[in-house]
Amino acid sequence: MKATAQAPANIAFIKYWGRRDNVLRLPANNSLSVNLSSLVTTTTVEFLSEAGEDEVTLDGQAASPKAAARIQAFLDVVRQRAEFSGRAVVSSENSFPHGVGLASSASGFAALTLAATQALGLPLTEKELSQLARLGSGSACRSIPDGFVEWQTAASNEESYAISLYPPDYWEIVDVIAIVDQTEKSLSSSEGHEAAPHSPFYQARLEKFLPEQYAKILRALDERDFSAFGTVMEEEAINFHAIIMTAQPSVLYWNGATMNILHQVRAWRRAGLEAYFTIDAGPNVHVFCEKKNQPELVRQLSAVPGVEDLMVATPAPGARLITE
């Protein structure tokens, strides 16, 4: 009745932004991501036969009422599938600050899915785990499979899940994450998904921009063409933020340090250091380079005004059980 699992966060090159179904978390578009080695959540779930409220501890502190309610609602789905009615004790540790746009909901719900189903003896396939994790947090479905991952949109709960396109060792690229703000983000990604379709540019994103970019980035991945890959990733990050800046409500996730980094990355490229950025729903910046350029990129990024900390991540496996 007890299990521990570990799952990585992931960063999307083509992002999930807007949903066709808010309850089932069916995304409006396909997305592509890679799992991140140093951003990991480790979660232990124990089910007790007694009824009552679940007990949830996140990074050593009792979860906020909002986070606890979201986790309890997700565990209700797992309990229903296993025909079990007891309460759960959940303890979860992140290797990185949560709520700052570093995808703690992705690694968190992926680890929770694997630990909870294992604790209740539910034997699920990778596809079923990914579908289930999606109900907790959409991007969590991409933290179940290994390495470079694709999540397909679909009209039904059964058909929307993530698969591995390439294993972690397929390509030696590095994500240097510049932390410029450690506080909670101003608008949660769940709220962002609801706001995004109100941008006047949203339909153009779905109908024209994304289909073209998707085809280009799949080709770049297939050919391990870093320049083509980085160009599409960066264009997508700008498009994603343009959508939320022009949505209702309008959100500016970037701060001054974010902007400093974006200008610097482009200046470094002009000077011969090949690096490209992407940014999720927060101010922190993920800057990608090839492995050979990692020391120089770290050196340069750490000198940018406003950068508080750096984290380095490489492509990683998906969710795993931890045996004691």
Residues that bind ligand DP6 (CB under 6 A): 12, 15-16, 25, 31, 103, 105-106, 137-139, 189-190, 193, 280-281
Taking the complex as a whole, the smallest distance from the CB of residue 190 to ligand DP6 amounts, in Å, to 4
By C-beta, is 12 or 275 nearer to ligand DP6?
12
By C-beta, is 94 or 105 nearer to ligand DP6?
105
Taking the complex as a whole, the smallest distance from the CB of residue 258 to ligand DP6 amounts, in Å, to 14
CA–CA gap between residue 273 and residue 146 (Å, rounded): 29
Taking the complex as a whole, the smallest distance from the CB of residue 168 to ligand DP6 amounts, in Å, to 18
Going by the DSSP 8-state scheme, the letter that residue 321 receives in this structure is: E
Taking the complex as a whole, the smallest distance from the CB of residue 103 to ligand DP6 amounts, in Å, to 6
Q: Do 245 and 148 form a contact (C-beta atoms < 8 A)?
A: no
- Taking only Cα atoms into account, the Rg of the chain, rounded to an integer number of angstroms, comes to 19
By C-beta, is 63 or 106 nearer to ligand DP6?
106
Taking the complex as a whole, the smallest distance from the CB of residue 134 to ligand DP6 amounts, in Å, to 8
Please measure the distance between the N-terminal and C-terminal CA atoms of the chain and give it in whole angstroms.
Answer: 14
By C-beta, is 25 or 216 nearer to ligand DP6?
25
- Phi, psi (degrees; rounded to nearest 5) at 26: -90, 120
Angle between helices 104-119 and 126-136 (to 10 degrees): 120
CA–CA gap between residue 311 and residue 175 (Å, rounded): 8
Q: Do 28 and 2 form a contact (C-beta atoms < 8 A)?
A: no
Residue 290 three-state SS? strand
By C-beta, is 33 or 293 nearer to ligand DP6?
33
Taking the complex as a whole, the smallest distance from the CB of residue 127 to ligand DP6 amounts, in Å, to 18
Strand 309-313: give its sheet, edge to edge. 276-278, 285-290, 173-179, 309-313
Both tokens of 175, joined, read 């994500």
By C-beta, is 40 or 281 nearer to ligand DP6?
281
